[in-house]
Structure 1
Amino acid sequence: MARQNSTRERQATHFPAFENNAAVETNGALAPYKALVKRLSEAYGPSGSEERVRDLVRNEIKGFVDQVRVDAMGNLIAHRRGSRGQAKKIMLSAHLDEVGVMVTFIDARGFARFSSLGAVKPLTLLGARVRFENGTEGVIGREEKNAAHTEIALDSLFIDVGAAVEKIQVGDTANFVSEFVDPDGFLVGKGLNGRVGCAILIETLRQVKKSPHEIFCVFTVQQQVGARGAGAAAYAIQPDLAIVLDAAAAGDFPGAALTEIALGKGPAIKFQDEGAMTSSGARQTLLRAAREAHVPYQLDVTPRAAGDSLPIQAARQGVPTGVLAVPMRYRNTSSEMIHYDDAQQTIQLLLNLLNKPL
């Protein structure tokens, strides 16, 4: 299937295999993939504190891989052997961590100042509820002397934990308190930026048949604070091809950046991340897999979006690296939004890629 040449043509194209979501809900219960995303979304895991999410993923992939290990950085590396000798090594990665905050100072009255973990805009923090790893919750407030300013500075914000101040200390981290919901084919919750990719990799491992390739699914740590884990994993694996699962900023809501990326139109194949151009060969592999699987796709250039692609691409003597991203609204907030179909189509694309020779 040739890629459509215009926005109008893309919007008019139908892919019947993905249009009927009647089976998404069963007797009021979440469908398996949605339930998986909910578990991952609600798990605690700011950058540097990914252990709970990692343990959850490890349990989910049990029985679908040949070997699982945790490296010195904290990455979870799952290996599934190929069905042929001299198999190519394909690395698929998604990050475990989510944005959050870290306590830097607690004043005499018990109000905690903090730094951000990841690209969190101060405006999205004001009034937000946060939860620490020990379960202590707080509300983010703002100094009244700055209330008249339209710009919100991070150093004007604080966390109010009330009488529970003795339960937190400098260096503690917290994430958003947010309920996972699934309105009309959309999935909304915290941490979806990375956890949707984790769920896609888990489902791919469950569904893939005998692949000719050595498959390494890497669930990376500290992506939000400089993509620290991904490079170490790629250095160890030395893959022949790497595909990074991530989120693509959508432009289909009022005031969004100028991009054609939209929810419900298929996964985005990226040309560029911050500091990294994706490899031409990797892009062509993704495009071919999408066409063969009859999966709609979008093309994305987001030069200011940091991700795991740069450290993977630069590992050792270099790794051909592509980025496959699920379109997302409201990235790095407590209510990140994706479309169910885009995630399912991403799985189908990956299955096609893994089941055929490169």
Structure 2
Amino acid sequence: MNFNSELMKKLSDCFSPSGREKNIRDIITEEIKDYVDEIKVDPLGNLIARKKGNGKKILFSAHMDQIGLIITHVDEKGFLRFSNVGGIHAKEIIGLTMVFDNGLQGVVCCEELKDNEKLTMSKLYIDVASTDPEFVKKNFHIGDMCVFKSEYYETPDCTICRAADDRIGCYIQIEAIKDHPVTENDVYYVFSVQEEVGTRGAKTAGYSVNPDLAVALDVTATGDSLDGIKMDVKLGGGAAIKLMDKSMITHPDVKNLLTNLAEENNIKYQYEVLEFGGTDAGPIHMTREGIPSGVISIPTRNLHSAAEIINKKDVLECIKLLKATAVSK
């Protein structure tokens, strides 16, 4: 299997911040509709695709949404105040270009800070590069959302894009669906909504499906760059099997299952302990009476930035591990 750059670019470039997932849901639906037995959209907006079987019920979940900004005030001079949608830090977005669903753009600017004054979101604004009040009034409104504007880029072994979190998880599930292995298991592929604002979609999807086993597909940090994070996960180290993050401790049986499957199928893997954040597996594992859950993580540099970096070979190993899990007994 080769890395499908065209598909990943399409997914990453799609405008769909949390709560506005229709664009990406439509793309994914078009990609998978001919490969599944059943497909539906639940009341919250989750896309749930099913490969029917009479065996163990397995749920995979990757979230469709991306981080962004939401407009809270529109100044007729062309300055927009905003709040964050998901984990965005003020100091990391000054000078970045943001793009709206209508294709219009603006740059994040900062007010002059007084002595010892802290930089917060309230000190930032978006300049939409217009002095025409009518243009601003017509095109920008309270509640509008925008996301990072950056170009998709590849080297022979890696990819840089704005929404690897978690379009790469969606990519992995799409590729697995298209090459779904023969199995008696009843397999559900969930593409969830609103993960970046509290793993909300996964909670309702997990309750609805009520699986015997759940595995989330999501990005994780790495310790192989100079950003100060100390952990063993690295690009090129293979699929990362999560042991713990702030939302869950992986069920021992699931950790052993994923490890054994990786070793039996000659899949390159590494273990992950993440000291912050969480995934769809967090709410799912506490659903109903409890659901044994785990995570296949994709090592990613520059998380929650306009230029997240993933390794193509890691992605292919994650696809192999997902497919092996789908046929597990």
TM bin, normalised by shorter chain, reads over 0.9
Work out the number of aligned pairs and report it: 324
Which residue matches 2:140? 168
Corresponding position: 1:184 with 2:151: no
Task: State the distance in 1 between where 2:188 and 2:320 align.
Answer: 18
Partner of 1:116: helix, strand, or coil? strand
Corresponding position: 1:133 with 2:107: no
Residues 150 and 192 (structure 1), Cα distance of their counterparts in 2 relative to 1, 3 Å cut: farther
Corresponding position: 1:76 with 2:44: no
Query: Cα RMSD between the aligned structures?
Result: 1.6
Which residue matches 1:20? none
Partner of 1:235: helix, strand, or coil? helix
Query: 1:49, CA displacement in angstroms?
Result: 0.6
Correspondent of 1:120 among 88, 97, 113: 88
Correspondent of 1:158 among 125, 136, 142: 125
Query: 1:96, CA displacement in angstroms?
Result: 0.2
Contact 1:61/1:202 (8 A) holds in 2: yes
Task: State the distance in 2 between where 1:201 and 1:46 align.
Answer: 19
Contact 1:208/1:355 (8 A) holds in 2: no
Contact 2:113/2:119 (8 A) holds in 1: no
Which residue matches 2:203? 231
Corresponding position: 1:261 with 2:233: yes
The one-letter amino acid paired with 2:45 is G
Correspondent of 1:103 among 53, 58, 71: 71
Query: 1:151, CA displacement in angstroms?
Result: 5.6
The one-letter amino acid paired with 1:158 is Y
Task: State the distance in 2 between where 1:306 and 1:351 align.
Answer: 23
Which residue matches 1:245? 217
Listed as ranges, the gaps of 5+ residues in structure 1 are 1-22, 25-30
Which residue matches 2:183? 211
Partner of 2:83: helix, strand, or coil? strand
Query: 1:275, CA displacement in angstroms?
Result: 2.9
Residues 31-73 of structure 1 show CA distances to partners (whole Å, capped at 9, x for unaligned) of 5x22111100000011011110000000010211001000011
The one-letter amino acid paired with 2:7 is L
The one-letter amino acid paired with 1:341 is K
Quote the sequence identity (%): 35
Task: State the distance in 2 between where 1:196 and 1:267 align.
Answer: 13
Residues 208-264 of structure 1 show CA distances to partners (whole Å, capped at 9, x for unaligned) of 221121110000000000111001000000000000001110111113311011000
The one-letter amino acid paired with 1:134 is N
Listed as ranges, the gaps of 5+ residues in structure 2 are none
Query: 1:302, CA displacement in angstroms?
Result: 1.2
TM-score after normalising by structure 2: 0.95
Task: State the distance in 2 between where 1:294 and 1:234 align.
Answer: 30
Contact 1:212/1:356 (8 A) holds in 2: no
Residues 283-307 of structure 1 show CA distances to partners (whole Å, capped at 9, x for unaligned) of 1111111111111211111131122
Task: State the distance in 2 between where 1:192 and 1:56 align.
Answer: 16
Residues 322-353 of structure 1 show CA distances to partners (whole Å, capped at 9, x for unaligned) of 01100000000000000000000001111222
The one-letter amino acid paired with 2:123 is S
Residues 149 and 295 (structure 1), Cα distance of their counterparts in 2 relative to 1, 3 Å cut: farther
Task: State the distance in 2 between where 1:102 and 1:272 align.
Answer: 31
Corresponding position: 1:53 with 2:30: no
